[in-house]
Amino acid sequence: MAFTKEQEMYFNEMIDILHTSNALNNVILVGSWAEYIYEKENILKDFTSYAKTTDIDFLLNDDNKATKPQNIVAHAKEKGFVYNEDFVMGTSKLRKKDFEVEFLISQKGDGSRPLPKSELGVNAQQLSHIGFIKDNFITIDYNGYNLNIPKPEAYVLQKMIINDQRKHKAEIDRRKISNILPYINKEVFDAIYNSLFTKEKKKVDNYITQYCPYFRNNDQISDIVNKYIDIQNKTKSLSVQMEDVRSEYFKLPKEQRNGIPWNGERLRPAIFEDMYLAQCKKEGREPLKEISDHFWKNCVEMNDYAPKFCIQKGTERD
């Protein structure tokens, strides 16, 4: 878990502020702090988050009319938070040291028209492609509070949809997606995907094709991988095994070879490494470092995404 004790303390303070203001039922925790909850509350078994951020984002669930929230600003100030308002952008934030809290709302129209202050007494930033989370969240018991968080599958889909808009944060988000993908429920993922708008589906399709093609179309590739990389029972050297993998991989029809990088010469080792790690997890055995190292040693181009093995090691392998 990548968050500091101080950050966790401020986070817990904000949850208490929202609860005291009768506003906790009217917001959904989104962004990287949702990963903190997935790990801490064991929402995804054995998942470890490597997210690091001082920002916390809450999506206003304006569809919830069951509770009447109070203005949270006064309660936040009592806890030492400072309220800042950007009159040009029409947004506001709560800050405590380097900890920053922002409220988001599903974009209305083209987002150009400023919205009035919310019932919480803050101006929310309008974002597109986030409204579907209001239909796909779960409520969990967090330290005695009822806290709303996105279903992990909705969290991943939203990050896929907006990745091409994230500029310098796009690569970081791709690593987060790669880290959480092995733990999500594909049936739930597909059900939420089917409820998206056509443009959103296209963004998801483009993301998967470019960065994690194995996620949907891994049956034949998986057969090849499983056939050769169980090193515990190997009859050939690792290098010979990998040549066999590569050879059989390129026998697949072109449209099924979803792991070929842009130069068309080598398969993407990350695809095989991620599948190998998932296979080890399923079988309850420790992955062998030499296999993962071999994938990366033979890699020519690795700016598609960094699988969880690299993040666990705290290294950049590109």
Tell me the average pLDDT across 7-22: 94
Q: Copy the structure tokens of residue 37.
A: 């909850």
- Is beta strand 82-86 parallel, antiparallel or unpaired with respect to 137-142? unpaired
Q: Is the pLDDT of residue 311 over 50?
A: no
Strand partners, 147: 140
Portion of the chain with pLDDT greater than 70, in percent: 62
Provide the pLDDT confidence category of residue 191 given band limits of 50, 70 and 90.
very high
Where does the pLDDT of residue 111 fall: very low under 50, low under 70, confident under 90, or very high at 90 and above? low
d(CA 97, CA 288): 42
* Cβ atoms of 229 and 276 closer than 8 Å: yes
The pLDDT value given to residue 153:
96
Helix 5-20 to helix 33-40 angle (10° resolution) is 100
Phi, psi of 55 (to 5 degrees): -100, 140
Q: Residue 192: which pLDDT band, with cuts at 50, 70 and 90? A: very high
pLDDT of residue 233: 46
Residue 48 is classified by DSSP as -
CB 175 within 8 A of CB 306: yes
Q: What is the residue-wise DSSP string for 171-214?
A: HHHHHHHHHHGGGS-HHHHHHHHHTS-HHHHHHHHHHHHHH-GG
Provide, rounded to the nearest whole percent, the portion of the chain with pLDDT above 90.
Answer: 37
Ranges 16-25, 103-112, 190-199, 302-311: which has the least confidence:
302-311
Mean pLDDT, to the nearest integer, of 53-72? 80
More confident residue, 260 or 89: 89
Window from 14-18, 160-164, 216-220, 298-302 with minimum mean pLDDT: 298-302
Most confident by average pLDDT, 63-72, 113-122, 134-143, 159-168: 134-143
**Which pTM value belongs to this model?**
0.70
pLDDT for position 245:
55
